[in-house]
């Protein structure tokens, strides 16, 4: 069974979408834990509802970044995931975690990267920028997490037509719906790829 750890910072809609895909038999995996940097959020409520262990880890809890990053890594090591999935996680993933799980941390971003990606581009900031720039299309991007914001290799993209009369909030809802459709199936593809790659390396 492939084990997933989810990182989330908000309502947990993508988190719930993953749970539904597993429950419906569309994803051969088990969520072994949720890591969040915030308390009292929807993602934690979802974790409690489905009996999924969760851990709140924020840099504010620690005296320095090094101890925070070590705690984050230690929690992941304890859960031993096949894949780490960022589902609306609003913190930069530390380099030590990326080194420990190379090509095994993926994220979904609410734009067609490389457009509207990088530091400061998250949530409604992205959609307001898309509308302000009069883009005709936007969408979402699944990518491998690297040490730079939103610059890891792209795994998949899905696009939609922008309605210039809609608000950033309306556009955000449409892009989020697209994320729910695109994201979960690609976990299985990526896990299968990693298994094949590891088998090749073992043979070599």
pLDDT digits (tens, 9 = 90+) for 35-78: 999 999 999 999 999 999 999 999 889 999 999 999 999 999 99
Rounded to whole angstroms, the Cα distance separating 188 from 194 reads: 10
The residues with which 84 forms a beta bridge, in sequence order, are: 5, 105
DSSP 102: T
Instruction: Return the pLDDT at 180.
Output: 86
Delineate the domains of the chain, giving CATH numbers in brackets. 2-203 (3.40.50.170)
| Residues acting as catalytic residues | 109
pLDDT digits (tens, 9 = 90+) for 76-118: 999 999 889 999 898 999 999 999 999 899 999 999 999 999 9
């Amino acid at each position: 069974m492939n084990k997933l750890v989810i990182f989330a910072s908000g309502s947990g809609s993508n988190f719930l979408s993953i749970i539904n895909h597993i429950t419906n038999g569309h994803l051969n995996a088990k969520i072994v834990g949720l890591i969040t940097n915030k308390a009292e959020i929807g993602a934690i409520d979802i974790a409690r509802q489905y009996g999924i262990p969760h851990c709140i880890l924020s840099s504010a809890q620690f005296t320095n970044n090094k101890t925070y990053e070590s705690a984050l890594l230690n929690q992941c090591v304890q859960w031993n995931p096949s894949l780490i999935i960022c589902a609306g996680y609003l913190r930069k993933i530390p380099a030590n975690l990326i080194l420990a799980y190379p090509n095994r941390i993926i994220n979904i971003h609410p734009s067609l990267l490389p457009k509207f990606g990088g530091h400061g581009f998250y949530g409604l900031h992205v959609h307001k920028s898309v509308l302000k720039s009069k883009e005709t299309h936007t969408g979402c991007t699944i990518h491998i997490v690297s040490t730079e914001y939103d610059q890891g290799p792209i795994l998949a993209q899905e696009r939609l037509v922008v309605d210039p009369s809609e608000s950033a909030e309306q556009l955000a809802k449409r892009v989020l719906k697209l994320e729910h459709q695109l994201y979960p199936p690609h976990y299985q593809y990526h896990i299968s790829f990693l298994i094949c790659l590891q088998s090749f390396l073992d043979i070599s």
